[in-house]
Amino acid sequence: MRELRVNTWLELQDALFADSWNEALGRHRPSFVFRGMPHVEHDLSTALNRKGMFVRQEKDLLRAFRKYAHANAQQQMQSLWDWLALAQHHGLPTRMLDWTFSPNVALHFLTEDTDLRDQDGVVWCVDYRETNRLLPKPLKAQLRREGADVFTGEMLAAVAGDLSAFDRMAKHPFVLFFEPPSLDARIVNQFALFSVMNGPALRLDEFLQDQKQGVRRLIIPAALKWEVRDKLDQANVTERVLFPGLDGLSRWLRRYYSPRPR
């Protein structure tokens, strides 16, 4: 893993789009996903395993969620993985973490929380083609069959129908990236996907720490956050777009019109 501190907007853009050239396609088509966090000391623990809170209750939580979910949701979900995506989307503690294909969306989540404006932030950049090298053979084979680099719920269900089967696929830790179904405009507009590891207690940052290639951790100083935030607003990367509806509109207006401390 490489750690890099960026001090200007141009340095940040260069770091985010580094290695984006795809020689085979002759296009700038990177194989990276991104996660922006407002405090540099925030780790990559999930809501399920943060401080060990819900690790033992993973199956109980998901079973109860499926039982009490609205009837319309039950009709739409095709697999366990779709249920996990729905649960994560609505705030249930799961083993998933939110990521995005968009560097700008990652920067939004880096700068959205004005209470942490005086803290350095971080953007994780992960090359999923590199992390895919450690996948068990059945998962690699499924990607080859589909000609894909990240999974869908349907693809995962064809190889591992439940979490117990998924966890048994390898003794060593691995991570895959999973595109959720388009549950609503929020997922679509955020260009969202999730990371999933083969165990409820596993921590992704501990796994990535040992990866020699394809992982960058960009440190963004607090002094740069305001410039990043203002330029994102000008580019229309805001709560109003990423969280469609009146709640997102209100979040955007409250932040946009709040005064900058001097």
Residue pLDDT, tens place only, 229-248: 999 999 999 999 999 999 99
Q: 234 by DSSP, 3-state: which?
A: helix
Lowest mean pLDDT among 75-79, 135-139, 186-190, 193-197: 75-79
DSSP 51: G
Provide the terminal-to-terminal Cα distance of the chain, rounded to the nearest Å: 37
Q: Which is it for the CA torsion 235, 238, 240, 243, positive or negative?
A: positive
Q: Would you state the pLDDT for residue 235?
A: 97
Residues in CB range of 203: below 8 A, 6 or more apart: 43, 44, 45, 49
Q: What is the mean pLDDT of residues 52-61?
A: 91
Residue pLDDT, tens place only, 136-175: 999 999 999 999 999 999 999 999 999 999 999 999 999 9
Which residue, 14, 37, 7, 13, is CA-closest to 205? 37
- Quote the pTM value: 0.94
pLDDT bucket at 72, cuts 50 / 70 / 90: low
pLDDT at 261 over 80: no
On the 0-12 / 13-18 / 19+ scale of CB atoms within 10 A, 222 is middle
Q: Are 193 and 100 in contact (CB under 8 A)?
A: yes
Four-point Cα dihedral 207, 210, 213, 215, nearest 10? 50
